[in-house]
Structure 1
């Protein structure tokens, strides 16, 4: 996969990640507390500064009450 396609796909994923949080009615701080992480962890995941791995994605999906397929 070329870099431009990969970046576009990851940008779309980040939008879905934020939309899922907002759809669940949660703030970044509330999510961070649930994950026992600093608020900056959630911010960095949503901004793309930090990559989200599969295990973390499963945790986000459960917290936001969406299936993993939501993020595809």
Structure 2
């Protein structure tokens, strides 16, 4: 099985996170600070060099103003429409 960071589903997730961050009017620095993480945290997440566990993803969703279930549904929609 291919590592998840190389799968199109992971790329779709990163794209959604970036989209929601920008829609919220937040910079990567803003998000990192809100999560009490170093500045590089969001950069690493969006570049795909850092993976998030489910709790971290939920925390990030709160910062972005979207619920985790909403994000998951968007991800599912993006994955199914791209195949």
Common fold: TM-score over 0.5: yes
Secondary structure of residue in 1 paired with 2:7:
helix
- Structure 1 residues 23-67: Cα deviation after superposition (integer angstroms, max 9, x where no partner): 110001111111111111110011110101100110111111112
Structure 1, unaligned stretches of length 5 or more? none
How many residues get paired?
71
Structure 2, unaligned stretches of length 5 or more? 76-83
Q: What's 2:30 paired with?
A: 30
Q: TM-score, normalised by structure 1?
A: 0.86
Q: What's 1:46 paired with?
A: 46
Q: TM-score, normalised by structure 2?
A: 0.76
- The alignment's C-alpha RMSD in Å is 1.8
Q: What's 1:57 paired with?
A: 57
Task: Report whether the alignment pairs 1:3 with 2:14.
Answer: no
